Structure 1
Amino acid sequence: MPGDRFAIARELLDQGATVLIIGRKQEGLDSAAASLGPRCVARLCHTADEKRATEVIEDLITSHGRVDYLVNNAAANPQWGPTIGVDAGMAAKLAEVDLWAPLLWTKLTHQVWMGANGGSVVNIASVGGLSPSPNTGYYNSVKVGLAFLTKQLSAELAPRVRVNAVAPGFIDTDMARHMPPEQRAALLRQIPMGRLGLPADIAAATSFLLSDHAGWITGHLLAVDGGMLNARAFDPAVGPV
């Protein structure tokens, strides 16, 4: 379903999991929980707030007894324009939400359950961190950091905990649907699969990496981009949109 912000949660619910989602706005959380059903637990929390995150994880253990999977999917992208124009506020926000928060939640879940019992973590990175592109250079740089953090944690937390990452390409979101037709057409010409990705594509890849089907995979960054990066490497004349 295009634009489904909760595709990963839906996929995991379909697989039989109980899913905890967090957010900063109660109204949005209540609406999401209602649409996702009774096995969705919603808690108000800024993803980078260590005190509140600790409370949420401890409450989850008290109420459900375990935490087997973690998806670090929160992101902030206040940057649009030349990288040289990024200010301290933008840089701090991006690093806090896109890099520190995944480490924080991995640390907390490791402390309360996964370290002793095992588990699987998937970080949502970006193909932007694999190839330069205009206007989001610092965001991409932070996603490079997340990719490295994935590899670092996979080595440190093995063998009990697997840590992988999914790097989405251009996904059919509300923002993509407002793209000017000529820009969208140019973008589609760069994607061998001939379409933008769907949230369901990212959800399926995430579910796989979390699952026992990927039980011998850790430290891996899976690009889900319709072949775009590969096509750029094949034809150097094709550059970023």
Structure 2
Amino acid sequence: MTSQRSLTGRAAVVTGASRGIGRAVAEELARAGALLCVTARDADGVRETVAALRAQGTDAIGAAGTVADPAHLWEVTELTMAAFGRVDVVVNNAATNQPYGPLMDADPDAWRAAFTVNVEAPLRLVQCAWRAWMSEHGGAVVNVCTEGATHVGPNVGAYNTSKAALRHLTAQLAGELGPSVRVNSVSPGLVRTELARFVWEGAEESIAAGLPAGRIGEPADVARAVRWLVSDEAEWITGADLLVDGGTRVRAASAAGDAHAVQRRLRHHFPGA
């Protein structure tokens, strides 16, 4: 099928790609024919992801580092250009969910760090890609946000606020960089990742029962949405936010399901909200 090789010959940078959603995105883009540069803080995880991509026949490189470091973002861009001669796709997935807790208790330095990683770093990486390739050749960007960016949740105020800012940044960049560069975001609901294990572990059945889709998400669910958004199949879509949440926004309360299970789990894990 065309969609399965829709990115042949295009070079993609994926951040936070050592596990979870980021790794699933890298693998999905690779199956669609993309050349991959992956990055994450975990050097071993980066090596494992690169090895897995190469094992499936993908031309892949990797670099360990933090997206909070502007020098690392430029290094990743230069490595991609040196290896593939282009940077067609950027997927900003790396994020931090710190600081947890009520905002009145939030440490100012931790608050700033959340915005550095979740908002400033995506902008900086897009700037790098723009200057290196996209300004003349075009491209596609997807920022990974969250379903929680539109509502209040206990103890995740810094995370959700920074992701709300990222959603607006997505729209702003789409307006500034079009028509040659498309910029969109995806907003996952609860996905089976290590980062979210404390939410779903031991409560997966009750949470899933309250979702119209009948299950919590898998990293591959988000990865397929990202792959579609960066492909030519979505060429008339920019500035959009795609919910990948199993129907979380429209979940129905019933005797079999608890529409507030996730919120209660958060409160139990982080009391005092």
Q: Same fold per TM (> 0.5)? A: yes
1:115, 1:40 → 2: CA distance? 24
Per the alignment, residue 208 of structure 1 pairs with 228
1:197·1:225 contact (CA, 8 Å) conserved in 2? yes
1:9, 1:228 → 2: CA distance? 25
Kindly indicate whether residue 166 of structure 2 is the aligned counterpart of residue 146 of structure 1: yes
1:1-241 equivalence runs, <5 A: 6-37=23-54, 38-178=58-198, 179=200, 181=202, 183-231=203-251, 238-239=259-260, 241=263
SS in structure 1 of the partner of residue 251 of structure 2: helix
1:217, 1:175 → 2: CA distance? 30
Considering Cα pairs closer than 8 Å and 6+ residues apart, tell me whether 1 or 2 has the greater RCO: 1
SS in structure 2 of the partner of residue 134 of structure 1: coil
Per the alignment, residue 7 of structure 2 pairs with none
1:91, 1:69 → 2: CA distance? 29
Look up the equivalent residue of 1:29 and give its one-letter code.
Answer: V
Q: Deviations for 1:93-123, whole angstroms, at most 9, x for unmatched residues?
A: 1101100000000011011101110000000
1:74, 1:232 → 2: CA distance? 31
Q: Deviations for 1:15-67, whole angstroms, at most 9, x for unmatched residues?
A: 11111111223222212211221522101222121123213212321221111
Look up the equivalent residue of 1:27 and give its one-letter code.
Answer: D
SS in structure 1 of the partner of residue 98 of structure 2: coil
Please list every run of 5 or more consecutive structure 1 residues that lacks an aligned counterpart in the other structure.
none
TM-score (norm 1): 0.90
Q: Deviations for 1:147-201, whole angstroms, at most 9, x for unmatched residues?
A: 00000000000001000000000001235555453x4344224311110011010
SS in structure 2 of the partner of residue 92 of structure 1: helix
State the shift of 1:5 in Å.
Answer: 5.1
Look up the equivalent residue of 2:88 and give its one-letter code.
Answer: D
2:22·2:93 contact (CA, 8 Å) conserved in 1? no
Call closer, same or farther: CA 1:177–1:142 in 2, change over 3 Å.
closer
1:192·1:227 contact (CA, 8 Å) conserved in 2? yes
Q: CA RMSD in A?
A: 2.1
1:96, 1:193 → 2: CA distance? 34
Which range moves more in the overlay, 193-202 or 22-31? Answer: 22-31
2:92, 2:20 → 1: CA distance? 19
SS in structure 1 of the partner of residue 182 of structure 2: strand
1:48·1:104 contact (CA, 8 Å) conserved in 2? no
Aligned length: 236
SS in structure 2 of the partner of residue 165 of structure 1: strand
Q: Which runs of 4+ in 1 moved over 6 A?
A: none
Please list every run of 5 or more consecutive structure 2 residues that lacks an aligned counterpart in the other structure.
1-18, 264-273
